[in-house]
Amino acid sequence: MNKNNISEFSIIKRISAKFPQYKDTIIKGIGDDAAVIKINKNKYLLYTCDAQVSGEHFLEKYSSPYQIGRKAAAVNLSDIAAMGGIPKYLLVSLFLPKNTTNTFIDELYSGLTEECKKYNVIIVGGNISKSNQFIIDIFLIGEISPKNLLLRSGAKIGDVVVVTGTLGDSAKGLELLKKNKNNYLSQEKQSISKYHLPIPRVEEGMILAESGMVNSMIDISDGLSSDLGHICDENKVGVNVFLEKLPVSKGVKKIIALNGGEDYELCFTTSFRNVKHLLEILKKKTGTNITIVGEILPSKEGRWFIDENGKKMKLIPRGWDHLI
Amino acid sequence: MNKNNISEFSIIKRISAKFPQYKDTIIKGIGDDAAVIKINKNKYLLYTCDAQVSGEHFLEKYSSPYQIGRKAAAVNLSDIAAMGGIPKYLLVSLFLPKNTTNTFIDELYSGLTEECKKYNVIIVGGNISKSNQFIIDIFLIGEISPKNLLLRSGAKIGDVVVVTGTLGDSAKGLELLKKNKNNYLSQEKQSISKYHLPIPRVEEGMILAESGMVNSMIDISDGLSSDLGHICDENKVGVNVFLEKLPVSKGVKKIIALNGGEDYELCFTTSFRNVKHLLEILKKKTGTNITIVGEILPSKEGRWFIDENGKKMKLIPRGWDHLI
């Protein structure tokens, strides 16, 4: 990165500095998975936006319009899930190259609407512009009861770090797609499917939020090493992550699970004593597993991961900064 | 337009058909300047999104990053103004080519934040992606008291059609810029300024909404001929527009005022008897003029404009459909 280049996080920091969050209705502005606006004492609204750019987030030779439509909704649903919120309304901004066909649009919308309907989300508006490159940008509105709100902040020293599902499948799936094989093993197909059609943990997020037991939460969109970095930054704490604990599917390397992006699993912190109960209710209500992968430390102890040989290594965000 | 091409309005129609507006909290979904969601009996929220695409909505050789930032906010503010609403919160989604400089971003944000501050709008979130082409996509959230809400629907046969300010300046400004002159006359500079920095009629929209006298309203973003077409479609009515009545700045042709886009003035319908009062309060509170330019007819009488020689011509949307 040279001085003329820009990183997503440095830009976000500069913008935040210009907009002090002074209004008492703004519970959380820039810097979490979604903005949080107070409507009344019983209701907050959540606002988030995220885009899929052709050639950056996906390649049209690997992803069908249907998959792109579903994924575009899913990555935004994941941001609302990360707050513990209920997704409600969606606006879709399309940027279409001149040669875009009606078939492409119909399949894209078929994916988008299918994903929305799963979570009772209604498309209420949008915009269409001409462009060189296909982009779908989504604005998602959710709501939450104030007592359930989970932020990146709130992690306590001594908390365990817990993740839902398995990590690294999406990165593995993309790696497999790049091999352009004619046939994939069934396990490989699952990784590819997770890359194309990540499952936002909306119900899991709501259950965790309602439990009252979770201290902080984020979704793993940029890779665990990056997203845990955000938790550490926000809470001014350190962390130990145990590589061997990372839950992976067969054939997925632990280091990919640590750094690979686009898992759209949830990462949260809680007291160790709560984990058994949370595991039970999540398993029972959603079938989703959770796994302890690390612990929150005082800031001065730093950020580390312990590799499979017990060696302590610096935890550096190696996940996906879209601009690096 | 061939069968493989797509028009913004045909796409919007197809999407609307897939999402029946069945929820009682959705006062207005797809198809107005903003979506309208009921919060409680005293408050509706307004959601809109609109983008500026480099090479489509502006050329970087004509527009500075500061101007692009201000205009990106202004075009969205105009959508909230068209409902009579109060703009509140903004999310900004940036698509940045690899060589984007910090200076570009700083100037863009300087324009964006300046425009926001004028209307007490707070930036609460956003997203950044890499792309081939610079794009700024904005999501704007507004609010309104239900009794003040103005929609495209509501126009009554016999209503007069009224517009704020002058029309055609922005299209004239762009035409002038394309001449690449070294010097422009003072009047020409005003047209160019209106192209770069349109003034959203936020205060005017609120005053009109609060008057209780306006039946329907839209902002003139695609050109009067197009936007009046939306009013006619929505209300199943016809219209007469009188070309000679169109308010223009010196040097702007009436036909440009009819068809040129990006004026971001308001167009509304009301009973003739209200116009004098509305003119007085708008003049007094904002300094903005309003002008009667036409009348709403029964659908079977069609859509017409009367040219400067008194000749009746078909009113065809010639404004800007971003995909044609």
The answer to whether residue A2 scores a pLDDT higher than 70 is: no
Tell me: the pLDDT tens digits for B214-270?
Answer: 999 999 999 999 999 999 999 999 999 999 999 999 999 999 999 999 999 999 999
Instruction: Write out chain A residues lying below 8 Å of B102, CB-based.
Output: 3-4, 6
Lowest mean pLDDT among A141-155, B110-124, B147-161, B306-320: B306-320
The pLDDT assigned to B31 comes to 87
How near does any CA of chain A get to the CA of B70, in Å? 15
From the list B34, B53, B98, the residue facing A129 with the nearest CB is B53
Whether residues B50 and A127 touch (CB distance < 8 A) is answered with yes
Average pLDDT estimate for B107-134: 96
Task: Name the nearest CA neighbour of B131 among A75, A57, A49.
Answer: A57
Whether residues A125 and B30 touch (CB distance < 8 A) is answered with yes
Amino acid at B169: D
- Rounded to an integer, what distance in angstroms lies between the CA atom of residue B53 and that of residue B58? 7
Average pLDDT estimate for A167-177: 94
The answer to whether residue A17 scores a pLDDT higher than 70 is: no
The answer to whether residue A6 scores a pLDDT higher than 60 is: no
Average pLDDT estimate for A184-195: 94
The answer to whether residue A225 scores a pLDDT higher than 80 is: yes
The answer to whether residue B324 scores a pLDDT higher than 70 is: no
How near does any CA of chain B get to the CA of A25, in Å? 11
- Rounded to an integer, what distance in angstroms lies between the CA atom of residue A174 and that of residue A320? 13
pLDDT band at A182 (very low <50, low <70, confident <90, very high): confident
Mean pLDDT of chain B: 92
Whether residues B34 and A125 touch (CB distance < 8 A) is answered with yes
Whether residues B130 and A3 touch (CB distance < 8 A) is answered with no
Lowest mean pLDDT among A76-80, A259-263, B12-16, B259-263: B12-16
The answer to whether residue A4 scores a pLDDT higher than 60 is: no
Tell me: the pLDDT tens digits for B281-317?
Answer: 999 999 999 999 999 999 999 999 999 899 999 999 9
From the list A14, A89, A128, the residue facing B11 with the nearest CB is A128
Tell me: the pLDDT tens digits for A51-109?
Answer: 999 999 998 899 999 999 999 999 999 999 999 999 999 999 999 999 999 999 999 99
pLDDT band at B318 (very low <50, low <70, confident <90, very high): confident
Average pLDDT estimate for B39-59: 95
- Between A225 and A6, the more confident residue is A225
How near does any CA of chain A get to the CA of B23, in Å? 9
The sheet carrying B265-270 orders its strands as B214-220, B265-270, B160-164, B290-298, B237-242, B303-306, B312-314
Q: Which residue of B has its CA nearest to A54?
A: B131
What ipTM was reported for this prediction?
0.91
How near does any CA of chain B get to the CA of A57, in Å? 9
pLDDT band at B16 (very low <50, low <70, confident <90, very high): low
Whether residues B14 and A106 touch (CB distance < 8 A) is answered with yes
Best A8, A39, A121, A122 residue to mutate vs chain B (most B CBs within 10 Å): A122
Tell me: the pLDDT tens digits for B192-207?
Answer: 999 999 999 999 999 9
Whether residues A19 and B122 touch (CB distance < 8 A) is answered with yes
- Rounded to an integer, what distance in angstroms lies between the CA atom of residue A200 and that of residue A195? 12
The answer to whether residue A240 scores a pLDDT higher than 80 is: yes
Average pLDDT estimate for A238-244: 98
Task: Name the nearest CA neighbour of A203 among A77, A319, A323.
Answer: A77
Contact A68, A58 (CB under 8 A): yes
Average pLDDT estimate for B4-10: 57
- Between A324 and B111, the more confident residue is B111
- Rounded to an integer, what distance in angstroms lies between the CA atom of residue B244 and that of residue A236? 66
Mean pLDDT of chain A: 92
Domains of chain B in sequence order: 8-147 (3.30.1330.10), 150-314 (3.90.650.10)
Helices A202-211 + A65-81 axis angle, to 10: 0
Residue A97 CA, chain-centre distance (Å), reads 28
Give pTM, 2 decimals: 0.92
The answer to whether residue B320 scores a pLDDT higher than 60 is: no
Tell me: the pLDDT tens digits for A274-318?
Answer: 999 999 999 999 999 999 999 999 999 999 999 989 999 999 998
Q: What is chain A's Cα-based Rg?
A: 19
Tell me: the pLDDT tens digits for A29-46?
Answer: 988 999 999 999 999 999
Average pLDDT estimate for A211-234: 97
Residue A113 zone, left/alpha/beta (φ > 0; ψ -120 to 50; rest): alpha
The answer to whether residue B76 scores a pLDDT higher than 60 is: yes
pLDDT band at B7 (very low <50, low <70, confident <90, very high): low
How near does any CA of chain B get to the CA of A213, in Å? 27
Instruction: List all residues 6 or more positions away from B308 whose beta carbon is below 8 Å from its beta carbon.
Output: B243, B244, B254
pLDDT band at A23 (very low <50, low <70, confident <90, very high): low
From the list B30, B113, B323, the residue facing A18 with the nearest CB is B113
Tokens of B15: 């999407």
Q: Which long-range contacts (CB under 8 A, 24 or more apart) does A281-288 make?
A: A281/A207, A281/A211, A282/A164, A282/A204, A282/A207, A282/A208, A285/A203, A285/A207, A286/A203, A286/A204, A286/A207, A288/A164, A288/A165, A288/A201, A288/A204
The pLDDT assigned to A322 comes to 44
- Between A11 and B160, the more confident residue is B160
* Percent of the residues in chain A that have a pLDDT greater than 90, as a whole number: 86
From the list B26, B39, B132, the residue facing A132 with the nearest CB is B132
The pLDDT assigned to B34 comes to 95
The pLDDT assigned to B306 comes to 96
- Between A2 and B118, the more confident residue is B118
